[in-house]
Structure 1
Amino acid sequence: MTGTSTQSTGAEQLRSRIAAELARTRARTALLTEAVDEADLVRQHSPLMSPLVWDLAHVGNQEELWLVRDVGGREPVRRDIDDLYDAFKQPRRDRPTLPLLPPQEARAYLLTVRGKVLDLLDRVAFTERPLVADGFAFGMIVQHEQQHDETMLATHQLRAGPAVLHAPPPPEPRVRVDAEVLVPAGEFTMGTDTDPWALDNERPAHRVRLPAYVIDAAPVTNGRYREFIADGGYDDPRWWSPDGWRHRREAELVAPMHWRRDGDGWACRRFGQWAPVRDDEPVVHVCFHEAQAYAAWAGKRLPTEAEWEKAARWDPATGRSRRYPWGDDDPTAEHANLGQRHLWPAPVGAYPAGASPLGVHQLIGDVWEWTSTPFRGHPGFTAFPYREYSEVFFGDEHRVLRGGSFGTDRAACRGTFRNWDFPIRRQIFSGFRCARDARPEEAQP
């Protein structure tokens, strides 16, 4: 009886956790879609982004497909809209012309789906079936909606008009951060087999051996990036790859996205408000090519994905890989700038509690960090539960980003979480840090 009672208690705790995550996530979706009027909801604010009302109904449709129909085996709520909200069938540029659900109908649809999901949650058995073990399907849907919430946040950054989103500023610096950190040579475990809600591209865990290298202790700041601009970095092809230089010229890049000249300095636009660029904040809204050019100008390079993950997870005292830089506990407001708690990156040194054992800061939150690695599966990768989440994006066309941003929720961010995008994209909340090979005298134990 004890074993059965323990299993029952564990299942009830899991149900409570899932219900709380579903509610917390939906509250964020509501905030992002209720902050604007219906005209703004149906408008396309950039050809790179969907109308907000498309994202709204899309998260409900995915919840219906996976939880109501697949896990629950229930009859469809709205089979007639499946094609409208299929991201692979409907390119973003075409979505405003589709017969989308009007805002009120979309909200009603989400309410209906959520009611069926909560009814299912009350009675679902968390069996060994991979889709439902440890509540994976529910966790996948929470992460999917949070990812679209971050996408909608990026749409808010692109929209014209007065500010509609508000949040307190991030904390001020609490410690001084060293410039660079040496990561000694050796093996570490990359990826995971144990995180129950980890997605397919984070699996399986595998051993990776790296030579000694040096990585920036913090993301590259606005101040350092302004030096690159002032030194003519955007005008000197020496620092750019051939593809990067071609894109810089075609797109007429001269500074990070949302920057403009302000007297002798720079200002940036944040969700409808202009503010002076602050030198100690991580630079944001730069593409891979810009990050790569800066790194070359600085005499460094972008880290590989494996280098980034070792710096973020490896504990030299135990040799094990942690879930986060600070340990295995979920992030709090003391650890990282996540979850739209603030609306821009925190200055360097604001989160000492979130540093890794080696002293690398702000690896989680603030800005997604470009790496030099093309997006591919880990050795032994298996697509689950569908190829379209990760596998169809594998190849040289996409570069991996790690760490999450101020707009990333804690449910969709951990030391193994992998994001990816085209090297030209910078509407995302993207920044970077640099790395370099360790010199022989540095690499000595």
Structure 2
Amino acid sequence: MTTTESAATDENILRAAIAAELDRTRRRSLALTDSVDDAELTRQHSPLMSPLVWDLAHVGNQEELWLVRDVGGLVPLRSDIDELYDAFRHARADRPALPLLNPAEAREYVRGVREKTLDVLDRTPLRGRRLVDEGFAFGMIIQHEQQHDETMLATHQLRRGEPVLHAPAAPPSIAPPSAREVLVPGGPFTMGTDAEPWALDNERPARTVHVDAFHLDTAPVTNAAYAEFIAAGGYDRREWWTEEGWAHRQRAELRAPLFWTRDSDGTWWRRRFGVTEPVPADEPVVHVCLHEAQAYARSVGRRLPTEAEWEKAARHDPATGRSRRHPWGDAAPTERHANLGQRHLTPAPVGAYPLGATPAGVHQLVGDVWEWTSSAFTGHPGFAAFPYREYSEVFLDGGYQVLRGGSFGTDPSMARASFRNWDLPIRRQIFAGFRCARDATRAERT
């Protein structure tokens, strides 16, 4: 086989993989929207979220803008709706009042866009232009749609009514961590990436970062541990909260994680996708904001890890000194490594994924719950927006906080340990939890 023939074969393999990912992603989007009737699709279930039908048409519009028009050079299908589905033109709370496509029109629109996209994929060289090298633009759109799928999943959690989403229970705990924490040695590591073909702009460029030695929890903080914080007066102890956090706790009247309620005998219950059930003790706590996470950490004499500490713990291989794609290595995540992709509708108990642990024994860094860090969302040194400012750049230095690791609703296409998420410190509707860290002693640092 000639070099040219080999390159053509590689491109055809990549095209087939992209087509499969596009199809898998769209099936998830349709499952999230087909599970409710038209009235539920067009209703706004929280002012924090868009109507589900907006998200559906929005992912189609982004696909049309980037793949049909830009990559494919084709004429617009519906240029008249671009303004309606521009996320920066209309706040989420205002979107229900817009003349949006109705559910039937939205489904027809995304179907028509997808037909054009597949035609573009078939005839576009996946090299020679940065936007299409190794299928980047297609990967960007796949990840964009999956991000909105997780957003739609959060909308489902906020909606009231009977359960409409169903999934098998998460696996039981197999091998809980044998220690509460591990020491992560100090030293340099490679943070970020230049090698991931579908990595987004805020993950780039890779650079060497020095991290001092620190201790990191081997598992996320559990519901049982968080309930102890509440029982110890956690929401009333001013000394455990930052000034900003205490002001928000009072203003928002926080008393427990979102969706938790307590009955007269002291039992905690939670509402989960339409089901009310006792809070499972051994699952990571979820639906807490940054301020709650910080207060808990202070209550136990600890702190949240920095983003660099989190990434070093998740990626650094002490045997080789290199940064790996995932905590367990470079192999793609499977259902035995992590709780991802809406395979289950809840975090898994601590210890459910021993194969996903780091060599040092840190569990469940990827999947289950996004983890708050102590770092503000800024660009890596040398950051350059690509291919558009509105993905990352407009949020940098804007009061947003970094979350890492992904949740049970995060797709495996974004499960690489360099992936960065961000949100406002007060947000609780997202599937966020946390784990704690502490400084190493002077002796441990030397």
> Which residue identity lines up with residue 31 of structure 2 in the other structure?
L
Match of 1:296 among 295, 298, 301: 298
In structure 2, the residue matched to 1:182 is: 183
Distance 1:12 1:54, change over 3 A: same
In structure 2, the residue matched to 1:50 is: 50
Deviation at 1:2, TM superposition (A): 1.3
Q: How does 1:341-420 map to 2 (within 5 A)?
A: 341-395=343-397, 397-420=399-422
In structure 1, the residue matched to 2:323 is: 321
Matched pairs, number: 444
Question: Which deviates the most, 243-252 or 121-130?
Answer: 121-130
SS of structure 2 residue aligned to 1:359: coil
Residue 101 (str. 1) matches residue 138 (str. 2): no
Question: In 2, Cα distance between the equivalents of 1:182 and 1:269?
Answer: 36
Deviation at 1:305, TM superposition (A): 0.1
Question: In 1, Cα distance between the equivalents of 2:30 and 2:186?
Answer: 47
In structure 2, the residue matched to 1:267 is: 269
List per-residue Cα deviations over 1:238-257 (Å, max 9, x = no partner).
Answer: 01011100000000000000
In structure 1, the residue matched to 2:433 is: 431
Gapped regions of structure 2 (runs ≥ 5): none
Cα RMSD (Å): 0.7
> Which residue identity lines up with residue 198 of structure 2 in the other structure?
W
> Which residue identity lines up with residue 245 of structure 2 in the other structure?
G
8 Å contact 2:176–2:352 — kept in the other structure?
A: no
Q: Percent identity?
A: 68
In structure 1, the residue matched to 2:8 is: 8
Deviation at 1:265, TM superposition (A): 1.8
In structure 2, the residue matched to 1:222 is: 223
List per-residue Cα deviations over 1:31-77 (Å, max 9, x = no partner).
Answer: 00000000000000000000000000000000000000000000000
Question: Which deviates the most, 23-32 or 118-127?
Answer: 118-127
Match of 1:312 among 289, 314, 325: 314
Deviation at 1:439, TM superposition (A): 1.4
> Which residue identity lines up with residue 345 of structure 1 in the other structure?
P
List per-residue Cα deviations over 1:199-239 (Å, max 9, x = no partner).
Answer: 00000000000110000000000011011000001001101
> Which residue identity lines up with residue 304 of structure 2 in the other structure?
L
SS of structure 1 residue aligned to 2:107: helix
In structure 1, the residue matched to 2:198 is: 197
Question: In 2, Cα distance between the equivalents of 1:51 and 1:201?
Answer: 28
In structure 2, the residue matched to 1:206 is: 207
Question: In 2, Cα distance between the equivalents of 1:183 and 1:203?
Answer: 24
List per-residue Cα deviations over 1:397-420 (Å, max 9, x = no partner).
Answer: 000000000000001221000000
Question: In 2, Cα distance between the equivalents of 1:111 and 1:307?
Answer: 43
> Which residue identity lines up with residue 41 of structure 1 in the other structure?
L
SS of structure 2 residue aligned to 1:233: coil
> Which residue identity lines up with residue 192 of structure 1 in the other structure?
T
Question: In 1, Cα distance between the equivalents of 2:124 and 2:176?
Answer: 50
Deviation at 1:440, TM superposition (A): 2.5
Question: In 2, Cα distance between the equivalents of 1:250 and 1:340?
Answer: 33
SS of structure 1 residue aligned to 2:277: strand
In structure 2, the residue matched to 1:121 is: 121
Deviation at 1:176, TM superposition (A): 2.3
Q: How does 1:145-156 map to 2 (within 5 A)?
A: 145-156=145-156
SS of structure 2 residue aligned to 1:120: helix
> Which residue identity lines up with residue 164 of structure 1 in the other structure?
V
In structure 1, the residue matched to 2:164 is: 164
Question: In 1, Cα distance between the equivalents of 2:187 and 2:69?
Answer: 47
Question: In 1, Cα distance between the equivalents of 2:398 and 2:66?
Answer: 30
SS of structure 2 residue aligned to 1:235: coil
Residue 235 (str. 1) matches residue 231 (str. 2): no
Gapped regions of structure 1 (runs ≥ 5): none
List per-residue Cα deviations over 1:65-97 (Å, max 9, x = no partner).
Answer: 000000000000000000000000011000000
Question: Which deviates the most, 117-126 or 65-74?
Answer: 117-126
Deviation at 1:139, TM superposition (A): 0.1
Deviation at 1:396, TM superposition (A): 5.0
In structure 2, the residue matched to 1:80 is: 80
Deviation at 1:287, TM superposition (A): 0.2
Deviation at 1:342, TM superposition (A): 0.3
SS of structure 2 residue aligned to 1:234: coil
Deviation at 1:278, TM superposition (A): 1.1
In structure 1, the residue matched to 2:245 is: 244
In structure 2, the residue matched to 1:334 is: 336
